[in-house]
Amino acid sequence: MAELNDDFQKRFRTALEENDETEIKSMLLSLHYADLADLLERQSPDKRVELIEIIRGELNPGMLAELDDTILEQLAAQVTTDEMASALALLDTDDAVDVVEELPEAEQKVVLEKLPRDNRLLIEESLSFPADSAGRLMQPRVVSMPLRTSVGEAIDNLRNRHDLPSDFFDIFLVDLENMPVGSVPLGRVMSSQRHIKLENIMLKDMKLVPVTMDQEDVAFIFRQRDLTSAPVVNSHGQLIGVITIDDIVDVIHEEHEEDIMRLAGVGEEDDLYDAVVKTTMSRFSWLLLHLICAMTAAYVISLFQVQIEQLVVLAVLMPVVATMGGAASVQALTVSVRGIAMKEVNPSNTIRTIGKEAMVGLLNGLIFALMISIISWFWFGSVALGIVIAMAIMINLFVAGLSGSALPILLQKMGYDPAVASSAFLTSITDIVGFYVFLGLGAIVLL
Amino acid sequence: MAELNDDFQKRFRTALEENDETEIKSMLLSLHYADLADLLERQSPDKRVELIEIIRGELNPGMLAELDDTILEQLAAQVTTDEMASALALLDTDDAVDVVEELPEAEQKVVLEKLPRDNRLLIEESLSFPADSAGRLMQPRVVSMPLRTSVGEAIDNLRNRHDLPSDFFDIFLVDLENMPVGSVPLGRVMSSQRHIKLENIMLKDMKLVPVTMDQEDVAFIFRQRDLTSAPVVNSHGQLIGVITIDDIVDVIHEEHEEDIMRLAGVGEEDDLYDAVVKTTMSRFSWLLLHLICAMTAAYVISLFQVQIEQLVVLAVLMPVVATMGGAASVQALTVSVRGIAMKEVNPSNTIRTIGKEAMVGLLNGLIFALMISIISWFWFGSVALGIVIAMAIMINLFVAGLSGSALPILLQKMGYDPAVASSAFLTSITDIVGFYVFLGLGAIVLL
């Protein structure tokens, strides 16, 4: 198998330049499916169409599950439903579901009908669960055995089964009603004597995952408990599937991606491969929100037009107060949003968390108040001006710490995502407070 | 095993209020080690000291590996090195290394000396590799067998070994020089007949992890290839350990954490459990950087004091131009930083990526220029003012897209972390460009 290293990429560029289709095809097919997906993603859209055309007859199923959503849609539009179906038939159910759920609804139906009956039924069952739920992530082909099975019987049973998933790490033990009672890691099975009963070496402190549980909560359980697989149960508590860690790694990435993107006001769908117009649209609403906030801040300034006219240095220094408040509030916000995501913030320490951030804001406020007042005293030669900006900075950094930590917690309590729109609102708060306090104090003290 | 649910927490609070030490102890010991770690983390520092005092005699080793760094340091200061050593002796080497590397150096030495010789040597070997390298993550007890082993021999061998790690998912096959040539997932071993040779069912496209590889690159390989374990090799290519996915999940979290924190200018060590003064210090340098940037922007404004005095509406609207530019540049920055982290940005698409962001900035610039010019025309009744602010917004959003995407790529090329300090510099760029263009155009067109 070829490595996607610098040498490969150089040879590949040469093959592309020379338009050597045989060489291009053999190079593409020599790659690991994950590397092939990466290589396709990096091409320009036109080049990508050409490359897909070259390999469409031998579509690598593994690659489909690895492709970015945007690119998968393009590929689906280019290949026939027959080509898609024959690739999907070779995937494990959970990976096939990942691919199918990205297809347009009409195409989903056609492709599913072309799959072998067994695969189709399993995929359709998975798709019947809500998006982003455990049901979508799980592999319905689960390796389970009755409680009384011995190590020897387990091994014999596995040797005779033909429907094993390609990856499994545990044998789940179930009672007569098919409810899971324990799990045995394969390493334990293999290192135990044949006559030993699995129930004597099973782990009992399993976390059962309800099939409707949100994938974010599933990921939290996996991370917290260092799990490699977890049993999925239906509403009667019966074992209907298993979720493995490889799918969870993808979920963890998705959720982090969401957090970081939302903090910056970038839509979740916004990735490098989207087209310019689509990206422009997805960024628009965030910028609109900022416009509304900025206009509110401008209104606050407009209340002090007379004072600014009299003392134009107020206009020079007012953005400093706003900028410092904005930077401090984003710091508090980020820590708070991460704390919520990691379930470190909870009712028992909410007050302490907010109190700490307010204190940090106040302390830094004191330090920077001192620095800025000295700078502006030297710059404009006015002690009074230094005092005014010092007070404004101190108040604004205190407000920044307080609101930066409290707002996401409040949003979370009200059932909203704490990361969405928080930073726009916060910057708005620190802008308004900053301008109002600085210009207001300036008007009182200096004029 | 007890669940850390609302009911448990209520009963626990009651036990705390009643100071019922027996009940508190039995409740703490009934928890899963990961839940116990969570519960301790959520307490106030004083309460935590009390709780640790209650359980220090029966320190749960698993819990140590789960504790947040700050809390682990506190705990280490409170318990004796004997108590610490006897807990560490029960952990797998990779987890024990996680704990030991957080201890103060003097204490590390004392604790290590109190460990059984075998454990000590393995841990010391791990610690001899650079921090954040594969060597620190790996489990040196690796399950490897000669190429020619049959399934039956493998199972017999495992049944007779006593040094197996608590979790393992693959058997690695090695040649006579102990170089890995393939891996066999346990599921494959168990579902194959006894006489089959492992080399006939092994996976050959393994990714070998050099022991000095950075953990971020290791995590990338795991995610890209959907691995559950990978062999670690020394400089001679010999198998010396194995890294399993559960450790990688923690690395992925750490790396994401770093990204999101650095974007907001929050130090990596900054977590909810740090004390106020430590947090204040860690935020200081970021705010200082913002102060320098803000003062530069203030200087730009000061160049236009005469114009502002004549037309104070310039002071009212100038923050709008800066705010919009700042928001747009953070969007472009975040997408670019994520693209670099996910290795989606690379030499073959750098120009296209930056070009796309510049186009997106220009397009949104056009839309918002139109909106803002209409608003300011209605508000201040001046068409010329509308035109001036429209042009300034358009230029600033274009610059925001261009610099927001280019700066992190440039930093990366120069060998710096693309997330560090980027957003401060960018806001500075859009502030300066915004003020300069708006006030400059205003001076020319309106006065």
Q: Where are the domains positioned within chain A?
A: 6-128, 144-262, 276-446
Q: What is the CATH topology of the domain spanning B276-446?
A: Tetracycline Repressor; domain 2 (1.10.357)
Inter-residue contact A29 to A58 (CB < 8 Å): yes
Closest chain B residue to the Cα of A423, Cα to Cα: B327
pLDDT value of position A340: 85
Closest chain A residue to the Cα of B330, Cα to Cα: A264
**Out of B228, B316, B322, whose CB is closest to A228?**
B228
Task: Indicate yes or no: CB of A301 within 8 angstroms of CB of B291.
Answer: no
Closest among A276, A432, A391, A47 to B364, alpha carbons compared: A276
Q: Is the pLDDT of residue B405 over 60?
A: yes
Inter-residue contact B298 to A319 (CB < 8 Å): yes
DSSP A247: H
Q: Which residues of A touch B345 (CB under 8 A)?
A: 272
Lowest mean pLDDT among A412-416, B56-60, B97-101, B178-182: B56-60
Inter-residue contact A129 to A232 (CB < 8 Å): no
Q: Which residues of B touch A291 (CB under 8 A)?
A: 320, 324, 368, 371-372
Cα–Cα dist A164/A143, whole Å: 7
One digit per residue, the tens of pLDDT, for chain A of length 447 reads 778 888 888 899 899 889 888 999 999 989 988 889 888 888 888 888 899 999 888 888 889 988 888 888 889 889 998 999 989 998 888 889 989 988 888 888 999 999 999 889 989 988 999 988 999 999 988 999 999 999 999 999 999 988 788 789 999 999 999 999 999 999 999 999 999 999 999 998 888 999 999 998 999 899 888 888 999 999 999 999 999 988 898 888 888 888 888 888 886 655 666 778 888 888 898 899 999 999 999 999 999 999 999 999 999 999 999 999 999 999 999 888 888 887 778 777 888 889 999 999 999 999 999 999 999 999 999 999 999 999 999 999 999 999 999 999 999 889 888 877 788 889 899 999 999 999 999 999 988
Q: Return the higher-pLDDT residue of B190 and A70.
A: B190
Q: How many CB pairs under 8 A join A and B?
A: 330
For chain B, give the mean pLDDT.
89
Q: Which residues of B touch A348 (CB under 8 A)?
A: 9, 42-43
pLDDT value of position B271: 61
Determine contact: B153 vs chain A, CB below 8 A. Answer: no
Cα–Cα dist B308/B439, whole Å: 8
Task: Indicate yes or no: CB of B279 within 8 angstroms of CB of A356.
Answer: yes
Task: Indicate yes or no: CB of B189 within 8 angstroms of CB of A193.
Answer: no
Task: Indicate yes or no: CB of B264 within 8 angstroms of CB of A263.
Answer: yes
Closest chain A residue to the Cα of B351, Cα to Cα: A44
Residue that is written with structure tokens 């953005």 in the block? A319
Task: Indicate yes or no: CB of B42 within 8 angstroms of CB of A309.
Answer: no
Q: Is the pLDDT of residue B348 over 80?
A: no
Mean pLDDT of B391-395: 96
Cα–Cα dist A126/A243, whole Å: 12
Given pLDDT bands bounded at 50, 70 and 90, which one contains residue B339?
Answer: confident
Closest chain B residue to the Cα of A277, Cα to Cα: B360
pLDDT value of position B261: 83
With residue A379 as reference, give the H or E element that holds it. helix A350-380
Inter-residue contact B167 to B229 (CB < 8 Å): no
Q: Return the higher-pLDDT residue of B173 and A33.
A: B173
CA distance A411 to chain B (A): 19
pLDDT value of position B268: 61
User: In CATH terms, are A6-128 and A144-262 the same topology?
Assistant: no
Q: Is the pLDDT of residue B270 over 60?
A: no
Residue that is written with structure tokens 């900053």 in the block? A434
Q: What is the CATH number of domain B6-128?
A: 1.25.60.10
Q: Is the pLDDT of residue B276 over 70?
A: yes
Q: What is the CATH number of domain B144-263?
A: 3.10.580.10
Determine contact: B12 vs chain A, CB below 8 A. Answer: no
Regarding an ipTM greater than 0.85, the answer is no
**Out of A159, A225, A319, whose CB is closest to B297?**
A319
Closest chain B residue to the Cα of A283, Cα to Cα: B331
Q: Which residues of A touch B344 (CB under 8 A)?
A: 41-42, 271-272
Q: Which residues of B touch A263 (CB under 8 A)?
A: 260, 263-264, 334
Q: Return the higher-pLDDT residue of B150 and A102.
A: B150
Determine contact: B106 vs chain A, CB below 8 A. Answer: no
pLDDT value of position A268: 61
Determine contact: B316 vs chain A, CB below 8 A. Answer: yes
**B33-43 tens-digit pLDDT:** 888 988 888 88
Q: Is the pLDDT of residue B183 over 80?
A: yes
Q: Is the pLDDT of residue B213 over 60?
A: yes
Q: What is the CATH topology of the domain spanning A144-262?
A: CBS-domain (3.10.580)
